[in-house]
Amino acid sequence: MLRLGKNAVPLLIGCLTDTRRTNTPFWDYWPETKVSDIAFAILCDLFSDETGASTLNATIDWGDVQAESPGQPEWIA
């Protein structure tokens, strides 16, 4: 992805609806991950500053996703 530079962004956006599961969980504390989870995480990192705040207006982040499912773990949200 790094070698693609800015061209990776549309590819990552396209992966946001990909519900295929990865062979092993990407994060130790998640029981499973999907391609869409990883794409979302990468996009959040690309468009966040060093404090984790979004550098783009009107974009969602993990906090917004979790707010849709209060009390649920991130992988369910």
**CA distances to 2, 32, 36 from 21, in Å:** 23, 7, 9
Tell me: the pLDDT tens digits for 38-74? 998 888 888 888 887 777 777 777 777 778 888 887 7
Tell me: the pLDDT tens digits for 8-19? 999 999 999 999
Is pTM, for the whole model, over 0.85?
no
Domain ranges of the chain: 2-67
Written as one string, the DSSP assignment of 7-52 is GHHHHHHHGGG--PBPSS-SSTT-S--BHHHHHHHHHHHHTB-TTS
